[in-house]
Amino acid sequence: MYPSLTSSAILRAELSPGEIEAMFSIFSEHFNNATKEIFEHDLSGKNWAILLKDGETSQLVGFSTLALYETSFEGNAISVVFSGDTIIRPAYWGTPELPRSWIKTVFTKSEELPQPLYWLLISSGYKTYRFLPVFYKEFFPRFDQPTPPQMQALMNYLACQRFGTEYHEDLGIVRFTQGATPLRCGVAEVTEERIKDPHIAFFLSRNPGHVQGDELVCLTRVHPDNFTPAGWRVFK
């Protein structure tokens, strides 16, 4: 039985100082080199925050930050959701409220944006990468098929647009020159059992520098047609 959680989506500009401080506290619990300056700089580039609170105490126990925006690629308008920090305290790992509220928020806030809608994800930990095979049928990069040239071109374009020279196209990695925040020990430990999962093994092979904070760039289309059965359950 999962702990009770509630969630709410708030405009970044409407977050209270107390909420930002609580978010930073959770952030610093999970990442090395975490500073208020790094956290607030990353937060300033987002326009929404999803806050997860304990259903009994109303204490903030997790959050996700989002940048929803419109751009164009090869002359066509598209929409992008870029997810920033997505963190939940260990006692609440596995709860469906985080993916449910994330998908609900993205669909609600992108209703008037042009389609298709893509999720640009960067991941320094395998737990974040695992959201892709759990909830989406088609995503890249992945272990069982090469990234199609058109999808790779879009991925490169969006990553260069957002990260500039910190995106290493030959590696598919974002390597921050300043402000890298690798996960703390114990947050996403790689065990012999975990590495049997081909998705996790692939992530580790593609992002060997994750322990230093390297981020693997990933892309998927956010659409009900692309949901796995698990994706459909949280979407409904």
List the single range of 1-15, 24-38, 74-88 with lowest mean pLDDT: 24-38
pLDDT of residue 87: 85
- Among 176, 80, 160, 170, residue whose Cα is nearest residue 124: 176
Q: Is the per-residue pLDDT at 165 higher than 70?
A: yes
- Among 16, 27, 117, 112, residue whose Cα is nearest residue 65: 27
Q: Is the per-residue pLDDT at 188 higher than 60?
A: no
pLDDT of residue 92: 83
CB 118 within 8 A of CB 221: yes
pLDDT of residue 180: 58
C-alpha neighbours within 13 Å on the C-beta side of residue 131: 27
Mean residue pLDDT across the chain: 89
Taking the alpha carbons at both ends of the chain, their separation in whole angstroms is: 20
Confidence of residue 12 (pLDDT cuts 50, 70, 90): very high
pLDDT of residue 189: 58
pTM of the model: 0.90
Q: Give per-residue pLDDT as tens, 63-72.
A: 999 999 999 9
Q: Is the per-residue pLDDT at 159 higher than 80?
A: yes
Question: How much of the chain, in percent, has pLDDT values that exceed 90?
Answer: 64
Question: What is the rounded average pLDDT of the residues 164-182?
Answer: 86
Residues 161, 138, 215: CA angle, nearest 5 degrees: 40
- Among 73, 152, 81, residue whose Cα is nearest residue 120: 81
List the single range of 14-18, 100-104, 146-150, 166-170 with lowest mean pLDDT: 100-104
**CATH number, domain containing residue 34:** 3.40.630.30
Could you list the residue range(s) of the whole structural domain that residue 35 is in?
5-235
Torsional sign, CA 29, 33, 36, 40: negative
Question: What is the rounded average pLDDT of the residues 123-138?
Answer: 91
pLDDT of residue 182: 56
Number of domains the chain is built from: 1
Q: Give per-residue pLDDT as tens, 79-117.
A: 999 987 788 888 887 788 888 899 999 999 998 899 999
